[in-house]
Chain A
Amino acid sequence: MKYHVVQIEQNIMRKNDALAAGLRARFAAAGTLVVNVLSSPGSGKTTLLEETLARLAPRLRVGALVGDQATDNDARRLARSGAPVRQITTAAECRLDADMIGKALQGWDAGPLDVLFIENVGNLICPAEYDLGEDLRIVVFSVTEGEDKPLKYPLAFNTAQVAAVTKIDIADAVGFDRAAAYRSMRDVNPQIEIVELSAKTGTGLDAWTGLIEERLRHKLRQPLAAR
């Protein structure tokens, strides 16, 4: 069949990017630091956030949105900290997107927040593509994962500012090769800040919460237009 070509040139992510920009402006006006937490399933993301919320809650107004394909188990775990927590059940979707965040914020009676944690769906591929309007992207990586994981999932590590290396208390027992793992991370992101911690023993958690608080202070020091 004879045909002609109609040029379109349209970025498929434009809708998400526009919604994310709207969220970013809203969080800037509210003075809320937003932290998007990415990881593989089983990295200890929920355990780390449980501990983080519990430690920050006495000092700051913290809350969390939790993405999972099914169940609200993680939200119930995080809610034990007393912080406001809302589950986003994504069903077939493998990641959170800006539209899901916008909808979850509607009618969520969390009050004003200093820090909003967004626990993404456990997956290192798809969530890396979607801007959620966050200030800080954290990739959680446990010592039981392969040291070459950053090379297999470069975008997640490339777009994160911080790598939280969890379960550090068992690093020696599982033969974690620190040098190889951190070299892989820096081979996709030379600027990445690496924080070793254990939510179980408390190792590194002061440095970890200190990092979040410093980022919040930094954000609030910026004039509104620069946030």
Chain B
Amino acid sequence: MHELSVALSLLEGIEETASRDGIARVLAVHVRIGAMSGIAPDALRFSWELATAGTVAADSKLRIEDVPLAVRCERCGEDREPRAAGGLVCPVCGTVCPTIVRGRELQLVAMEVPE
């Protein structure tokens, strides 16, 4: 539950970009959140509202793109999505695949600003 500190880091990125580009208002913010990031989207939305009050991003929407967990299966030569709570196991061949290729993202992607 460190959604508030994540929201503050997002806001920092937004404020830097906004002040660099002379942007006075942000309508929405796009973020990418991996399934293994430890971040709960609803808690992040709530924290976002708190964090942005009185800032350039006040009342902005948080648009969250969820990224499912994917591991690299060396045996199949493919990236695979393991079954939930089934370990980091390839659902096709059953090999344990400890290399996580997606699902840890905590990424500030973009922002929507008025024309």
Contacts and interface: CB of A to CB of B under 8 A. Distances in A.
Interface in A4-36: 4-13, 15
A73 to B, nearest CB: 22
Contacts of B104: 129, 155
Contact of A3 (B9, B27, B88, B109): B27
Interface string A65-96: 00000000000000000000000000011110
Contacts of B113: 3-6
B13 interface: yes
Contact of B88 (A4, A12, A158): A158
Interface stretch (A46-54, A112-120, A187-195, A204-212): A187-195
Given A8-B109, A126-B2, A148 B85 contact: yes
A184 interface: yes
A44 interface: no
A1 interface: yes
A150 B107 contact: no
Interface string B38-62: 1000000000000000000000000
Contacts of B98: 158, 188-191
A98 to B, nearest CB: 13
What is the interface residue range for chain A against chain B?
Answer: 35 or more
Interface string B80-95: 0000011111000000
A1 B114 contact: yes
A6 B21 contact: yes
Nearest to A16: B9
Contact of B85 (A2, A10, A151): A151
Contacts of A92: 4
B85 A9 contact: no
A198 B86 CA distance: 29
A69 to B, nearest CB: 11
Nearest to A15: B9
Contact of B112 (A5, A94, A150, A190): A5
B24 interface: no
Contacts of A6: 17, 21, 23, 110-113
16 contacts: A2-B115, A3-B28, A5-B110, A8-B14, A8-B111, A9-B107, A11-B106, A11-B107, A12-B10, A126-B1, A154-B87, A184-B87, A187-B88, A187-B89, A187-B96, A188-B96
Interface of B: 1-2, 4-6, 9-10, 13-14, 17, 21, 23, 27-28, 30, 36-38, 85-89, 96, 98, 100, 104, 106-115
Given A187-B88, A190-B96, 4 more contacts: A5-B110, A10-B107, A95-B2, A154-B36
